């Protein structure tokens, strides 16, 4: 059965990440913006209900496709990411509906605040997925395995359509309350699904930071400027 986790993690709205999503690159932040970020972070941290589910499968990698459990995925980019992995984890996580409610609320009365909530929500889900990933990493290390960078449907040639299969395999709707729109977008919007390869080679593992903040500049899996 998939392993599903409720909110026992300390999901944080990382200020630096929020500023990055807002497009700040070292510029001065005025006190009004500073206050909005603090308020949005406090509201989201209090109102969100992060949940996740993940499960490990066998993994076979071919040149332009991979097989994870029974799921066959045609994607050269994912195959490259999982090269050498004989196991892979499917993961789904969400911070819940609070961010979407707040975005809707501020969209009619305060567009600046709405933008800040969008960015803060994106920082929250990233920080939460990092925490879940750390737990997966800890368990994998006991078996001498290390994590490859997570890779989500919609990246490169990994088609968004595979969300349906991941949802089914992890029972996402039932376990953590995420649904898919017709276009395979997730609701609540601050949700993530991902594949994480497990490798026995530590030198091929991911430092589990945002790539743009990671010091591993020679990493072959580096992705610049990814957003949630
Ligand atoms: S650059 Fe760092 S964070 Fe990005 S994939 Fe490589 S090891 Fe992971």
pLDDT digits (tens, 9 = 90+) for 201-225: 888 888 776 777 677 777 877 876 5
Q: Map tokens 């050498």 to a residue.
A: 84
Please write the tens of the pLDDT for every residue from 68-91: 999 999 999 999 999 999 999 999
> Which domains, from first to last, does the chain contain?
11-203 (3.40.109.40)
Please write the tens of the pLDDT for every residue from 187-206: 999 999 999 999 998 888 88
Rounded to an integer, what distance in angstroms lies between the CA atom of residue 228 and that of residue 210?
11
For residue 80, which of 221, 193, 217, 209 has the smallest C-alpha distance? 221
Longest dimension (CA), the chain: 53
Look at residue 1 and tell me whether its pLDDT is greater than 90. Answer: no
For ligand 1, atom 4, which residue shows the shortest CA distance?
211
- Structure tokens that stand for 216 in this block: 């591993």
- State the closest ligand 1 atom to the C-alpha of 215, by its place in the atom list counted from 1: 2
CA 23 – ligand 1 centroid, Å = 21
Report the SS3 class of residue 18.
helix
CA 48 – ligand 1 centroid, Å = 27
Give yes or no for residue 212 CB within 6 A of ligand 1: no
Contacts of 208 by beta carbon, 8 Å cutoff, 6+ apart: 130, 133, 134, 137, 147
- Rounded to two decimals, the pTM is 0.89
């Amino acid at each position: 059965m998939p392993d599903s986790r409720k909110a026992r993690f300390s999901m944080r709205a990382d200020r630096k990440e929020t500023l990055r999503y807002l497009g700040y690159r070292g510029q001065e932040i005025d006190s009004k913006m500073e206050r909005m970020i603090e308020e949005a972070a406090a509201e989201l941290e209090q109102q969100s209900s992060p949940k996740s589910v993940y499960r490990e499968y066998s993994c076979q990698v071919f040149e332009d496709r991979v097989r994870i459990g029974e799921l066959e995925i045609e994607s050269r980019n994912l195959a490259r990411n999982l090269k050498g992995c004989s196991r892979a984890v499917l993961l789904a996580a969400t911070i819940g509906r609070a961010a979407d409610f707040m975005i809707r609320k501020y969209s009619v009365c305060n567009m600046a605040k709405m933008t800040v909530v969008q960015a803060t929500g994106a920082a929250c889900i990233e920080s939460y997925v990092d925490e879940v990933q750390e737990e997966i990493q800890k368990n994998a290390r006991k078996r001498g395995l290390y994590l490859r960078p997570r890779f989500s449907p919609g990246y490169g040639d990994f088609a968004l359509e595979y969300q349906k299969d991941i949802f089914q395999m992890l029972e996402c709707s039932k376990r953590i309350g995420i649904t898919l729109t017709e276009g395979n977008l997730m609701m609540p919007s601050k949700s993530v699904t991902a594949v994480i390869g497990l490798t026995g080679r530590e030198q091929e593992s991911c430092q589990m930071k945002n790539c743009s903040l990671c010091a591993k500049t020679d990493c072959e899996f580096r992705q610049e400027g990814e957003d949630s």
